[in-house]
């Protein structure tokens, strides 16, 4: 249409926005994408990718420690933080280039600018120009949330700054009990830091299965991480290059860095959403959308973390793809947000798919629990005291596997395959009929024959 400069304008160059732009362009749409920072978004630039690279680095000390039991004598090793940071930066730059070139090859016009709404079809760029778009997709992601302001909050870093610290912290206090807090607690502990994790709740990983929460906390504490629950950081004081974190219980912890990982909020500030008439969700503060990612304004859509539905990169990618298929591909695609596998790259890893035990017992009358807690084969020679947890949650009436929860090495790799079975509504009999692959830890998933617990919920009279 002559009235519009482009068919689709995408705000945000992260995983969801780029996927939507590429697919829409493939359908013949004229697409423009604005990214004010770096192409790749949270996941590539300051999230899952650099985090996983740091996780790999933090595992090396464990491999060196375990090597002695297998006959290896390894000289004293040293770790250099600036080298890790520099090598990480090089890889992130490569990925950023790939995101940019792949989008441009698909026919997307990329502008390095901030875009804000003037009205439901008009966007003003920070370069001064305006663009009229028939359809607009908001994919601006999320940002770290520091919570209520406390004295000394200016000294606190988030998961954004942690990837660029010029100096390795020998002591670090991390506030939070979710996956970001746990992952960085384990990263820094693995690299040699003295780590204190502070969390206001009674146990870490709220929302995960209770057995998982108990197991991972025990394993982290075994590794030397101090976990303080039921308290918060109320004040941070700076002393030269070090800090004191004052806790709500009256105690204090000395540290070289204080990091908050207490949640993330949708990145909606300053977008001019009110000028376009785009409504926010009253429950989570994200952009309110329907099952097809459409906002309160018919020609404006939103995907990914900015909607605050399920804040995972693969979900944003799937939502972006479905949006492009539906709006530009003439095929209606609805994203199924059920049975999404997820992982916490802590040490040990946590990976889950499906329902927790509490969720299953609330939804079904008969629940069977299968659980194994054991030392892996490697530990017999390495001397490690670490233990693996595997848990299956089964509907006692239909025999369907409702959930699987794993804490241990490579849990994420295992759960990806298990997620297929759970999504296909596999039964416990299907698991039992599957031949074990020996010797592996994962074979426990198909060899657990007897329920460790059975729960029957009586109907109300």
Active site residues: 438
Say whether the peptide bond before residue 450 is cis (omega within 30 degrees of 0). no
Find the helix packing angle between 313-328 and 15-26, rounded to 10°. Answer: 30
Q: Which residues of 246-279 are buried (b: 16+ CB within 10 A; e: fewer)?
A: bbeeeebbebbbbbbbbebbbbbeebebeebebe
Distance (Å, whole) CA 319 – CA 333: 9
- Please tell me the distance from the alpha carbon of residue 357 to that of residue 451, in angstroms, as a whole number: 13
Between CA 93 and CA 90 the distance in angstroms is 5
| Cα separation, 189 vs 452, whole angstroms | 34
Tell me, what DSSP letter sits at residue 134? E
Q: 439 preceded by cis ω (within 30°)?
A: yes
**In the beta sheet, which residues pair with residue 11?**
34, 138
Q: Torsion angle, CA of 106/111/116/117, rounded to 10 degrees?
A: -50
Structure tokens that stand for 177 in this block: 């009990």
């Amino acid at each position: 249409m002559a009235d519009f400069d482009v068919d689709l304008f995408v705000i945000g160059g992260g995983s969801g926005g780029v996927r939507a732009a590429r697919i829409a362009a493939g359908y013949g749409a004229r697409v423009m994408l604005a990214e004010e920072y770096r192409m790749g978004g949270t996941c590539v630039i300051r999230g899952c990718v650099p985090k996983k690279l740091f996780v790999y680095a933090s595992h090396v000390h464990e491999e060196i420690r375990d090597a002695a039991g297998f006959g290896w004598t390894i000289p004293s090793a040293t770790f250099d933080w600036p080298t890790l940071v520099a090598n990480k930066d090089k890889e992130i730059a490569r990925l950023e280039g790939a995101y940019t070139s792949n989008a441009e090859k698909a026919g997307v016009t990329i502008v390095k600018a901030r875009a804000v709404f003037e009205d439901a079809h008009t966007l003003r760029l920070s370069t001064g120009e305006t663009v009229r778009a028939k359809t607009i997709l908001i994919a601006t992601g999320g940002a770290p949330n520091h919570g209520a302001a406390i004295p000394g909050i200016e000294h606190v870093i988030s998961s954004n700054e942690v990837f660029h610290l010029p100096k390795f912290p020998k002591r670090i206090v991390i506030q939070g009990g979710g996956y970001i807090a746990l992952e960085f607690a384990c990263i820094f502990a693995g690299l040699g830091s003295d780590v204190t994790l502070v969390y206001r709740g009674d146990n870490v990983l709220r929302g995960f299965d209770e057995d998982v929460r108990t197991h991972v906390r025990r394993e982290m504490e075994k590794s030397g991480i101090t976990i303080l629950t039921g308290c918060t950081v109320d004040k941070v004081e700076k002393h030269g290059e070090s800090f004191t974190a004052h806790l709500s219980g009256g105690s204090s912890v000395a540290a070289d860095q204080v990091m908050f990982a207490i949640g993330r909020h949708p990145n909606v500030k300053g977008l001019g959403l009110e000028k376009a008439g785009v409504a926010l969700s009253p429950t989570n503060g994200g952009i309110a959308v329907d099952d097809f990612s459409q906002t309160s304004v018919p020609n404006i859509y939103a995907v990914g973390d900015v909607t605050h539905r399920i804040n995972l990169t693969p979900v944003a990618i799937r939502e972006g793809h479905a949006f492009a298929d539906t709006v530009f591909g003439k095929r209606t695609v609805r994203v199924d947000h059920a049975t999404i596998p997820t992982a916490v790259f802590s040490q040990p890893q946590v990976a889950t798919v499906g329902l927790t035990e509490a969720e299953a017992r609330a939804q079904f009358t008969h629940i069977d629990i299968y659980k194994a807690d054991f030392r892996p084969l490697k530990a017999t020679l390495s001397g490690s005291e670490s233990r693996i947890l595997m848990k299956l949650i089964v509907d006692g009436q239909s025999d369907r596997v409702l959930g699987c929860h794993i804490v241990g090495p490579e849990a994420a790799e295992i759960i990806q395959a298990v997620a297929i079975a759970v999504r296909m509504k596999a039964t416990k009999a299907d698991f039992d009929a599957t031949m074990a692959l020996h010797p592996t830890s994962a074979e426990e998933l198909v060899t657990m024959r007897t329920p460790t617990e059975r729960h029957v919920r009586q109907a109300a009279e």
